[in-house]
Amino acid sequence: MQPGHDDNGASLVIFSFTDVGLAQILTEVVEEVRLSIDREVNGADLLYSLLSAPWLYSLLRPLFSFFHWSSAVPQIMASVRGLAAPSSEAQELYILLKCPHMQALLSAHDSVAQRDYGPVLPPLPDKLPDNEEAMRIVCLVKNKQPLGATIRKNEKTGNFFIARVIHGGLADRSGLLYPGDKLVEVNGQKVRGLQPEHVIQMLVQSQGNILFKVIPNTPQTTKSQPALYVRAMVDYSPLQDPAIPCPDAGMAFSKGDLLKIVDQRDIRWWQARKLHSASLCCGLIPSTNHKQRELWWSQPYQAHTCIRPCTLITHTDTYTHRCLNFCALFKMFVGIITGFRHSLRVWRRKSYSKRKPSCYSCGVSSCHNTSATLYEEVVHYQRHIDDPPRLIVLIGPSGVGVNELRRRLIKINPNTYQGPISHTTRSQKMGEKNGREYHFVTKEVFAYMVVNHKFLEYGEHNGHMYGTSLDSFQDVLDSGKICVIDLEPHCIHSVRTKKLKPYIIYVRPPSPARMKQTRKDPHFLSNRYIKRYFYDKDFEEIEEASRTMEAKYRQYFDCVIVNDDLQDSCMDLFTAIQHAQEEPQWIPASWFAPDHP
Ligand SMILES: Nc1ncnc2c1ncn2[C@@H]1O[C@H](COP(=O)(O)OP(=O)(O)OP(=O)(O)O)[C@@H](O)[C@H]1O
């Protein structure tokens, strides 16, 4: 950069580009401007084409990164001061550049552009033996962030190696430590033959900078793996997992969490991070290959707690693994339908055992093998306008208001929403129409449908059979309406099909105290058989039932609505359904798998 003078004698800042590419660009620019002048083009057009030209961006990008703004500012200010009659723009520029915030900003820009924010590496030793293997010296500065790497010791040779580097962690971001790198020294002390605890201790006791000497692993040309997106079907806590090599490097997750698995190279421990999480750093999660741990995982619907004391040590063959996450140590380093449920609400509570899921649903849900489903692969799905609407499933403990919400939704917009029509063996009443209130069928037909697994669930009430068939959902969807059903949670698996693509909304009760306030005068219009007000005990039962239901099934919930104020809940339901139909959602990948012949 050189100072120069314009026609008015004012100092200017002129840049000297040694870069051939830039010189070339400038030559082309000058030529283009000359041609434009020759063609007598309109000035505004010329300016527009200049500002939108790609070469201008090519020119400015390096310019901004090479340019030392902080050192240029005093020169620019001196130039403005030297002007006899500075224009108002020049004066404004002067005031702006004088501002400490602006100077701090420019200085920060320079630091980032020059990458001069890292600690300076100590010089290499003068006498390097010729036969010494190529070493990499890595300097760490102590801080509270975890390093994001684990080490292992080969018990036969006594050598230490970097076992894994956690994606997005400090080690990974530094690009200086890789799995397989041999750890030779820590702060000048050789580590070979030491006990892993000793190495950890050295690190813990170090102050300030810590120097690692590593023999880099021969770079492996590993193909970058495509990320796998899954939904967690269990709860997991690394701190309660005795098998994890490094609990600090593990990632806790809960049923229903969406995870992005970025590394599956380790057969036992995958690396993943939670979607929608602020942290870019991955954590270790158990792979689905943990055969020996199937028993542990197969305890259905339990948070996996382990009473064995935690240990950082696992012995696998000749290797001893240790956590080198030294958490809190280092900073960085360089280098169902209305009518059916209406009539059965109280019945549902009092004599639940009379109501049966169909054999079909029993076969799929109750006999579900949880060990095979630690995770469920998911894909991002945006419903196409021509696709049938997704089935909307409402689930909640009896009495929470599932039926009320569904009834109101359909009443407000009967042209858009509809419930399926149930089958019944009771006789048709005056004013009822077959196929509108119910499909009225004989006992024989009903029994035939049961035997052929046509019902999602069925039950007996007052000596008559009632049942909801899977086909009844399809009938609604085929009519172009959105089918809204309420369902017993044990039937979830029966509707989770590629065809129905259900969107499951859980209706959660507010606190018992709040329920007492809001359910003072509930209208039992929905129940034609038993009318009674809620008792305090009911609210507690509802809360308890809700807790149990969520603990078992929350991995399937796409959305949760707290049914506090009825009007607000109706709005929430309406919004959730719109969201389900119009916005992208994570759905099981199996719903996209090709149909089996
Ligand atoms: N947010 C609310 N505020 C006040 N009352 C409500 C609210 N939600 C529901 N109710 C009332 O609570 C009672 C029970 O609701 P509803 O019949 O919908 O429960 P449910 O969850 O369908 O239970 P079941 O399956 O046993 O019928 C009804 O009288 C309903 O009007």
Tell me the pLDDT band of 228, cut-offs 50, 70 and 90.
Answer: very high
Q: What is the mean pLDDT of residues 333-350?
A: 33
Check if 402 has its Cβ closer than 6 Å to any atom of ligand 1: yes
Query: Does the structure show a pLDDT above 70 at 219?
Result: no
Question: Which 3-state string (H, E, C) describes 126-137?
Answer: CCCCCCCCCCEE
Query: Does the structure show a pLDDT above 90 at 534?
Result: no
Cα–Cα distance measured from residue 113 to residue 119, given in angstroms and rounded to the nearest whole number? 16
Confidence (pLDDT) at 186: 85
Pairwise pLDDT comparison (21 vs 412), residue with the higher score: 412
> Both tokens of residue 418?
């509809």
What digits encode the pLDDT tens for the residues 468-504? Answer: 998 998 889 888 899 999 988 988 998 999 989 999 9
Range in 6-20, 54-68, 189-203, 571-585 with the lowest mean pLDDT: 6-20
Query: Does the structure show a pLDDT above 50 at 372?
Result: yes
What digits encode the pLDDT tens for the residues 183-204? Answer: 999 888 899 988 888 887 787 7
Tell me the pLDDT band of 352, cut-offs 50, 70 and 90.
Answer: very low
| Torsion 568-574-578-580 (CA) sign | positive
Atom of ligand 1 nearest to the CA of 397: 21
Query: Does the structure show a pLDDT above 90 at 26?
Result: no
Cα–Cα distance measured from residue 128 to residue 138, given in angstroms and rounded to the nearest whole number? 17
Burial code of 223-250, b = ≥16 C-beta within 10 A, e = fewer? eeeeebbbbbbbbbbbebbebbbbbbbb
Cα–Cα distance measured from residue 411 to residue 413, given in angstroms and rounded to the nearest whole number? 6
Cα–Cα distance measured from residue 266 to residue 152, given in angstroms and rounded to the nearest whole number? 14
Range in 47-56, 322-331, 493-502 with the lowest mean pLDDT: 322-331
- The burial of 491, by beta-carbon neighbours within 10 Å (0-12 exposed, 13-18 middle, 19 or more buried), is given as buried
Q: Which 8-state DSSP code applies to residue 364?
A: I
Q: Which 8-state DSSP code applies to residue 145?
A: E
> Both tokens of residue 544?
């308890």
User: Distance, CA 489 to ligand 1 centroid (Å)?
Assistant: 17
Check if 79 has its Cβ closer than 6 Å to any atom of ligand 1: no
User: Distance, CA 526 to ligand 1 centroid (Å)?
Assistant: 8
Atom of ligand 1 nearest to the CA of 564: 1
Average per-residue pLDDT for the chain: 77
Residue 233 · residue 258 · CB < 8 Å: no
Check if 562 has its Cβ closer than 6 Å to any atom of ligand 1: no
Confidence (pLDDT) at 257: 96
Q: What is the mean pLDDT of residues 61-70?
A: 65
Cα–Cα distance measured from residue 323 to residue 246, given in angstroms and rounded to the nearest whole number? 5
Q: How far is CA 98 from the centre of its chain?
A: 45
Pocket test for ligand 1, best of 404, 530, 570 (most atoms within 8 A of CB): 404
Check if 569 has its Cβ closer than 6 Å to any atom of ligand 1: yes
Output phi, psi for 484, to 5 deg: -115, 120
Share of the chain above pLDDT 70, in %: 68
Contacts of 321 (CB under 8 A, 6+ apart): 150, 151, 152, 163, 245, 246, 313, 314
Query: Does the structure show a pLDDT above 50 at 309?
Result: no
Atom of ligand 1 nearest to the CA of 346: 26
Q: Which of 480, 471, 491 is nearest to 341 (CA)?
A: 491
Number of Cα atoms under 13 Å in the Cβ half of residue 54: 0
SS3 state of residue 301: coil
Q: What is the mean pLDDT of residues 172-184?
A: 84
Cα–Cα distance measured from residue 374 to residue 297, given in angstroms and rounded to the nearest whole number? 8
Confidence (pLDDT) at 25: 67
Number of neighbours of residue 533 by Cβ within 10 angstroms: 10
Confidence (pLDDT) at 445: 95
Residue closest by Cα to atom 1 of ligand 1: 566
Q: Which of 535, 501, 499, 494 is nearest to 516 (CA)?
A: 535
Check if 563 has its Cβ closer than 6 Å to any atom of ligand 1: yes
User: Distance, CA 3 to ligand 1 centroid (Å)?
Assistant: 80
Place of tokens 């008559």: 464
Q: Which 8-state DSSP code applies to residue 78?
A: H
User: Distance, CA 404 to ligand 1 centroid (Å)?
Assistant: 5
Q: What angle do CA 67, 72, 74 make, to 5 degrees?
A: 165
Distance between terminal CA atoms of the chain? Answer: 72
Confidence (pLDDT) at 408: 95
Element (H, E) at 91: helix 88-98
pTM of the entire predicted model: 0.68
Residue 467 β-bridge partners: 423, 458
Contacts of 169 (CB under 8 A, 6+ apart): 146, 147, 148, 149, 281, 282
Query: Identity (one letter) of the amino acid at 107?
Result: S
Q: How far is CA 200 from the centre of its chain?
A: 33
Place of tokens 């028993």: 295
Check if 407 has its Cβ closer than 6 Å to any atom of ligand 1: no
Residue 440 · residue 434 · CB < 8 Å: yes
Residue 458 · residue 465 · CB < 8 Å: yes
Confidence (pLDDT) at 14: 34
Q: Which of 543, 155, 118 is nearest to 313 (CA)?
A: 155
Tell me the pLDDT band of 247, cut-offs 50, 70 and 90.
Answer: confident
What digits encode the pLDDT tens for the residues 266-299? Answer: 888 999 999 988 787 899 999 988 655 554 444 4
> Both tokens of residue 105?
């900003």
Query: Does the structure show a pLDDT above 60 at 331?
Result: no
- Sheet-wide strand order for 269-274: 283-286, 269-274, 258-263, 228-232, 375-381, 585-588
Output phi, psi for 343, to 5 deg: -75, -10
Place of tokens 């306008």: 385
Cα–Cα distance measured from residue 192 to residue 149, given in angstroms and rounded to the nearest whole number? 18
SS3 state of residue 176: coil
Pocket test for ligand 1, best of 526, 531, 539 (most atoms within 8 A of CB): 526
Residue 254 · residue 235 · CB < 8 Å: yes
Residue 477 · residue 392 · CB < 8 Å: no
Residue 270 · residue 253 · CB < 8 Å: no
